[in-house]
Each structure stands twice: as C-alpha cells, then as structure tokens.
Amino acid sequence: MTADSTQKCRKCALFLDGRYFCAQLSSEQLTELSNESRALTLERGEALSADGLKSWPIIAISAGVVSIQHLLKDGRKSIAAFLMPGDIIDLRSFSRRTRGQLVALGKSEVCRVSPQMLDMMVAANPGARTVLWENLRDQSFRAMDHAADLAKKRALEKLASFIFECRSHYSAAAAPEFVSIPVRRVDLADYLGMQPETLSRCFHDLEDQGILDFKSLSAVAISDVPTLRRIANGDRAAGLAAEPEKPIKILRFA
C-alpha cells in the first residue's frame, strides 16, 4: 500500500477502537500489515466472490454488517451468521467445502488480509494474538447461542436475545440503554428464522408493553431491562401478554 493507504488504516475502526486487532499493532507492524492488505467497500447485497476468497481468505469487518448466507434451490434464503465490526473470519479452508456466501447487508467496509502477514503479527504480538483469539471465541459463542435460539426459543424470545447481542456489541458505555439495530428487518427475520410480519409484530409487542422505546427504525432504548432479559432467557410468563400460548390439540385414537 501507499503512504495514503497507511493513513487510511489509521482512520479505520479496526485501528481506532482499542478492542480490535489493528489497535494492538505498533506503527511498524501496521505499515507491514497495510502493505499486504486490501480495503474493499461492499454495497448492500454485494457478495465476496469465491475466487477472491481463495486469494484473500481472511476478512476483517471494519464497518457495516456482512452475513454468511445460504440460498436453497427453491429460492429460500438462510442467514447463518452476522459478522460485525471487529470480527475477523479465516476462510483458508473455504475451497474444501461450500459454507455459503459472504454478503453485505448494507454498505460495509472490509479488509482483506494476507494470511502470512496475519500469522506473523499473531506470532510476534501477544496483544494482537489475545484480541484475535477473543474475537474467534466470541464468534463461536454467538454461533452456539444462535443455534440454541433457533432450536428452542419462540419468536419474541429470539428477538429479545438479539437485542442484547446488539447491546453488547454496539451500545456506548455512557448510554448502554440505547441499542442500534444494524440490519434491515427483512434480513433480521431471515437470521432469526421467522417471517418479517412476525418480527414486526414482536417489535410492536415489546413497544406496547413499555419494554422498548423506538427512536427510529434502527435505534431503540430499552426501558425495562429486567423484563427483556427474562424474555430472552425463556421466561414465558414475562412475554405472555405479547405472545400467548397456542392451545394444544390432543389426538385420541379409538
């Protein structure tokens, strides 16, 4: 990269936010990594090509949200994961198995990192190594929690869990009650395994109960954290007013 590209790295969230990988690097290491990396802007719906991932299999998300999507033969779309700012995904074995596409869910900034250079930085810099491992663990825990949500939770409970996930990742320390929803509702519905109409009804139910206060479509304030936490944890009594139990039909055999 040129000197201008290095300066651009110094304005990137991956460098400016102390929680992220590049913030752990020295000036010399940042320059070395910049020389072996390529920044890329993705528009909503734009996918990283499989050929590109073979050449640049390590992707760091600096802005926006990138999803891992699977498209079924009948046209149905499934979103398996959201990759958020600070996330690093290593797809060096991508060519061995189809794992879906990386698709931007809005204008997103990503950095394609040289595997050899990343390995060098991790080996030489304990701080960077710690941040990378913490991020990979966080992605693993998010994937496990998401799988449990899809398997066992009702629609309202899944939405409550996602709001807390966003709160953990995006909310400012000074105002933790304000939460940014970083994706469109149609994409969130695919991620949570529900219809957009169901998702919209759940948002309205939480607002009607006084649990959420909408500032805009993408920004909400949590007015009742304990109740929202109870819903997210599967306390059916907490969300009973919003999502009543369906009657169970008992089949009798002669």
Question: Does any domain span residue 248?
Answer: no
Same domain, 143 and 157: no
* Strand-strand pairing, 178-180 and 47-48: unpaired
Residue that finishes a domain, picked among 117, 147, 177: 147
Question: Does any domain span residue 101?
Answer: yes
For the stretch 38-66, what's the b/e string if a residue is b when 16 or more beta carbons lie within 10 angstroms of its beta carbon? ebbebeeeebbeeeebeebbbbbbbbbbb
| CA 247/CA 249 separation, integer angstroms | 6
| CA 232/CA 161 separation, integer angstroms | 5
* Residue 254, pLDDT score: 41
**CB burial class (10 A; 0-12, 13-18, 19+) of residue 132?**
buried
**Helix (H) or strand (E) segment spanning residue 123:** helix 115-124
Same domain, 39 and 140: yes
* Residue 198, pLDDT score: 95
| CA 201/CA 152 separation, integer angstroms | 19
* Residue 176, pLDDT score: 66
* CATH code for the domain in which residue 105 is found: 2.60.120.10
* Residue 6, pLDDT score: 65
* Residue 41, pLDDT score: 94
Beta bridge partner(s), residue 111: 39, 60
* Residue 98, pLDDT score: 57
pLDDT tens profile 192-221 = 999 999 999 999 999 999 999 998 888 899
Residue 253 or 117, more confident: 117
- Yes or no: say if 31 and 60 are a contact pair by the CB < 8 Å rule: no
Nearest residue to 129 via CA among 119, 142, 139, 141: 119
What lies within 8 Å, CB to CB, of 112 at 6+ separation is 37, 38, 39, 40, 52, 56, 58, 59
* Residue 10, pLDDT score: 80
Quote the domain boundaries for residue 110: 3-147
* Residue 61, pLDDT score: 95
Query: Is the model's pLDDT at 248 over the cut of 60?
Result: no
Question: Does any domain span residue 241?
Answer: no
| CA 33/CA 254 separation, integer angstroms | 73
pLDDT tens profile 119-149 = 999 999 999 999 999 999 999 999 999 999 9
Query: Is the model's pLDDT at 169 over the cut of 50?
Result: yes
| Rounded percentage of the chain residues whose pLDDT exceeds 90 | 56
Residue 13 or 81, more confident: 81
pLDDT tens profile 34-57 = 898 999 999 999 999 887 888 889
Same domain, 85 and 165: no
* Residue 172, pLDDT score: 57
What lies within 8 Å, CB to CB, of 235 at 6+ separation is none
Mean pLDDT for 16-33 is 89
Q: How many domains does the chain have?
A: 2
